Amino acid sequence: MNNKDKSKIILQLLNKTYPKVPIPLNYKNTFTLLVSVLLSAQCTDVNVNNVTKKIYPKYNRPKHFVKLGRKRIEKLIKKIGIFRVKAKSIYYLSKTLIKKHKGKVPKTYEELEQLPGVGHKTASVIMSQGFGYPAFPVDTHIHRLAQRWGLTCGKNVVQTEKDLKKIFPRKHWNKLHLQIIWYGREYCKARDCYGITCKICKSCYPNRKKPIKTKKA
């Protein structure tokens, strides 16, 4: 079965499983979406949402976080992993937005990736979920699933993103990357499916008998 055939099966199964797909992170505006994505590194979305639900009602603009300062930001997010590093990024990110972008989140990859703490994956999430621009954010979880489903031989998320963009039509990217995230969490778990039990794995590889090992990004 080639990638074109597999992509059709995957799209069909994911659209049936998740006709409407929620965004995992809660936010009030594009800026708080950006903050939440930064906080989600090495942390579960559930933990991020639990922390930010007490923050965003009061602090939801760059000027709020600049006024708070690094130490107070640290106290607000201390239940999140590597909170000191993240507090530093959020503080300087907020200062940069005010200084260079009039307090607004920029709408281009180039400008987003120049912000403190923002890499390509984070920029892709903002372009996709914040601005509705066709993007395919690939994290380590999507990278794992793409390998397991035989859609990429990429050794890193950059190559995997390129491969997935070639396989799937541009119009599906924004919804699809979220569908893959949810499906991986519920049905094709790292230490559960192993490439042989979920519907996608069985449909794409009906003759696969042995668990498949995936390489970390």
Query: Is residue 45 flagged as an active site residue?
Result: no
122 vs 37: CA distance, rounded Å:
6
CB 128 within 8 A of CB 137: yes
Of the listed 53, 121, 202, 215, which one is catalytic? Answer: 121
Residue type, 137: P
8 vs 14: CA distance, rounded Å:
10
Of the listed 139, 155, 163, 216, which one is catalytic? Answer: 139
98 vs 55: CA distance, rounded Å:
20
CB 137 within 8 A of CB 113: no
Query: Is residue 171 flagged as an active site residue?
Result: no
- Please list the active-site residues: 121, 139
